[in-house]
Amino acid sequence: MGRSQFTLSIGFGAKEAGEILYEKFDIPNYNFASLLNIEEVDELFKLLSTKSGKEIPRKFVKQRKQ
């Protein structure tokens, strides 16, 4: 864990675990209440794109525009 750049937690139960990791290892935690709707999935893709420095794969962008 000490080498992670960030952690993802999904759900309110996991949010606390992510906060503990932040407190112990100073690793940012990004929590998503769920990934059940398209807006939340869009936010996840944006975060992963930003953190990786890579664009969101075309197939997902294309699917989103349909």
Residues whose CB is less than 8 angstroms from the CB of residue 9 and which lie 6 or more positions away in sequence, other chains included: 15, 17, 18, 29, 30, 31, 32
Structure tokens at 53: 């420095």
Query: Mean pLDDT of successive 10-residue segments in the chain (66 residues)?
Result: 84 93 93 94 95 93 78
Sequence ranges of the domains in the chain: 7-65
Total-model pTM: 0.80
pLDDT of 3 reads: 80
pLDDT of 2 reads: 61
Q: Which of 40, 38, 34, 42 is nearest to 15 (CA)?
A: 34
Look up residue 33 and give its DSSP letter.
Answer: S
Structure tokens at 54: 């890579």
